[in-house]
Amino acid sequence: MKKAAYSFPEEVLEHVFSFIISDKDRSSISLVCKSWYEIERWCRRKVFVGNCYAVSPPILIKRFPELRSVTLKGKPHFADFNLVPEGWGGFACPWIRAMAGAYPWLEEIRLKRMVVSDESLEIIAKSFRNFKVLVLSSCEGFTTEGLAAIAANCRNLRELDLRESEVEDLSGRWLSDFPDSYTSLESLNISCLGNEVNLLALERLVSRCPNLKTLRLNRAVPLDRLPNLLRGAPQLAELGTGAYTSEMRPDVFSNLAEAFAGCKQLKTLSGFWDVLPSYLPAVYPICSQLISLNLSYATVQSPELIKLVSLCEKLQKLWVLDYIEDDGLEVLAASCKDLRELRVFPSDPFGLEPNVALTEQGLVSVSEGCPKLQSVLYFCRQMSNAALNTIARNRPNLTRFRLCIIEPRSPDYLTLQPLDDGFGAIVEHCKDLRRLSLSGLLTDRVFEYIGTYGKKLEMLSVAFAGDSDLGLHHVLSGCDNLRKLEIRDCPFGDKALLANAAKLETMRSLWMSSCSVSFGACKVLGQKMPRLNVEVMDESGPPDSRPESSPVEKLYVYRTVAGPRLDMPGFVWTMDDDSALRIS
């Protein structure tokens, strides 16, 4: 027997492993040999579970008995766009309960797209003595009462981040439940809350926490209270304003400008609801130090946006409404040479006519002028293959490219051809592309390009595209690193799905809604692949009440070691061995 594995005492290996933080690397370490697996699992402190149904609390706890930080994700991404019905799942409670018992020293819980109850928050508040970080991203199901429990009990809390969650805001009183002796807050994000919090309590909290670096207020915090808050936290690095409007009074403006100027470390700005344009210049003094600017709620016109953006020479991330227009993006391209990420949101998403002069040209300008641009999310109303080609050639370093042409199936507006070649150019030239969202008129050919060139692609979103199963087949058979595939309203059916069943076990999940996958095929898939959960969603009744060949409304397939889940609502059916036999 080789003695190599035993040449280091366990403690030494443990110490070495403690420098390895990446999940992938940790996973690789655990596969080396049995003893390394054992050592690794005892010293793993941080775990990321990309799909809460891929594993179960007992399995997690059994393997990793000493965790300090857990991240869980629940609902599929398309839940963001109301495609997942209420009650689908992603319940945090069983996890919180189990962890409360197993991990008394747990410090961090991060949840995304999960249903979190007040009860869960109370359990968190009372079970973990050293609890430090709570991030609830796009979660729902809790009220400000749950937050009160956290505030009152978590003496060592550093971070409370409710980003984009849906909170039932019963009262702003909860903030006062942080005791006067509590001073360890470093990051607070309450931007999603609807009601006003107790402003005096907020001011006191902010000024007594010397390490507060991130403060994202909600819309209800009036602008005239902002200077006081800023003066209480001059060390702030990230600020989200509340409503950016007030009666036009000269003292409010000068107060504000002075307060901003006093925040020498401020690098990130967001908020800006209800912007009164004449107040924007208050931030001009700090523009030159900003690296991230989120103006995606700011309904101001292009000239104001241009003035602001042109002063932010260090800007790396910009989120903005399409009010910025092509002209504004041209200025952005000329002024912000360090730009890494651009997101342009539509100001009038449901309007038939364009309300702003924003076209593909804006994106082309930015692709030309910003050499470090890696990540793009762009809503527009027209696109051409030529523009996409130019963008691809200009920016082969793109890693995330999400384009939404608002009208489904829009062709190249110049040639009236599909946009296959344009997106093809993107995947061909951007060799490190990890995330791609398609739109416009697309045939199977674009999927051929994606399968051929998208070797690093991890996440693909498709809507209203393709002609046949061949499209789906190209993607499933060609994209070696595909983890998440979400498809809606495409004519993809049984053949491609069943032919590539094995591929699905190498991915985190597949979502298909309003496609042509038949109930029969779902059953076959469920039977064939025991390590996949094949879930059919149908709000119009049990799928077996219709012929086997009828297409299912929604299909969600994911790999799991936990077997079929037991918390499915009435409109979700799982196609496993048992049910497949039962139904047929």
Partner 1 sequence: MATSASAYENDIKNLKATELTLGLPGTHLQENIPIIDQEKSSASSSSNKRPLQLPHEETSPAQDCGSKCSNIAKNTDDDAAPPPSKAKIVGWPPIRSYRKNSLQEQSEAAGGIYVKVSMDGAPYLRKIDLKIYGGYPQLLKSLENMFKLTIGEYSEKEGYKGSDYAPTYEDKDGDWMLVGDVPWDMFVTSCKRLRIMKGSEARGLGCAV
Give Cβ neighbours of residue 66 (< 8 Å, ≥ 6 apart): 42, 43, 44, 45, 103, 105
Question: Residue 473: phi, psi to the nearest 5?
Answer: -60, -40
Cβ–Cβ < 8 Å for 383, 410: yes
Least distance from C-beta 77 to partner 1, angstroms? 9
Q: Which is nearer to partner 1, 235 or 549 (CB)?
A: 549
Least distance from C-beta 240 to partner 1, angstroms? 13
Q: Which is nearer to partner 1, 247 or 353 (CB)?
A: 353
Residue with tokens 């050639």: 393
Q: Which is nearer to partner 1, 296 or 527 (CB)?
A: 296
* Residue 74: both structure tokens together: 């629940």
Least distance from C-beta 518 to partner 1, angstroms? 7
Query: CA nearest 557: which of 479, 466, 476?
Result: 476
Torsion angle of the four alpha carbons 121, 124, 130, 132, in this order, in degrees rounded to the nearest 10? -40
Least distance from C-beta 41 to partner 1, angstroms? 37
Least distance from C-beta 62 to partner 1, angstroms? 37
Residues 55 and 525: their CA atoms lie apart, in Å, by 20
* Residue 159: both structure tokens together: 């971070």
Q: Which is nearer to partner 1, 189 or 516 (CB)?
A: 516
Least distance from C-beta 212 to partner 1, angstroms? 25
Cβ–Cβ < 8 Å for 294, 319: yes
Q: Which is nearer to partner 1, 369 or 424 (CB)?
A: 424
Q: Which is nearer to partner 1, 122 or 444 (CB)?
A: 444
Give Cβ neighbours of residue 395 (< 8 Å, ≥ 6 apart): 367, 373, 430
Helix/strand/coil for 285: helix
Least distance from C-beta 33 to partner 1, angstroms? 44
Torsion angle of the four alpha carbons 73, 78, 79, 85, in this order, in degrees rounded to the nearest 10? -130
- Where on the chain is the footprint of partner 1 (CB under 8 A)? 78, 80-83, 164, 166, 192, 273-274, 277, 296-297, 299, 345-357, 379, 381-382, 404, 406-411, 413, 416-418, 437, 441, 443-445, 461, 463-464, 467-470, 473, 488-489, 491, 493-496, 514-516, 518, 549, 551
Least distance from C-beta 492 to partner 1, angstroms? 8
DSSP calls for 203-243: HHHHHH-TT--EEE--TTS-GGGHHHHHHH-TT-SEEE-SB
User: E-assigned strands of 248-331?
Assistant: 268-270, 292-295, 317-321
Q: Which is nearer to partner 1, 17 or 244 (CB)?
A: 244
Q: Which is nearer to partner 1, 40 or 304 (CB)?
A: 304
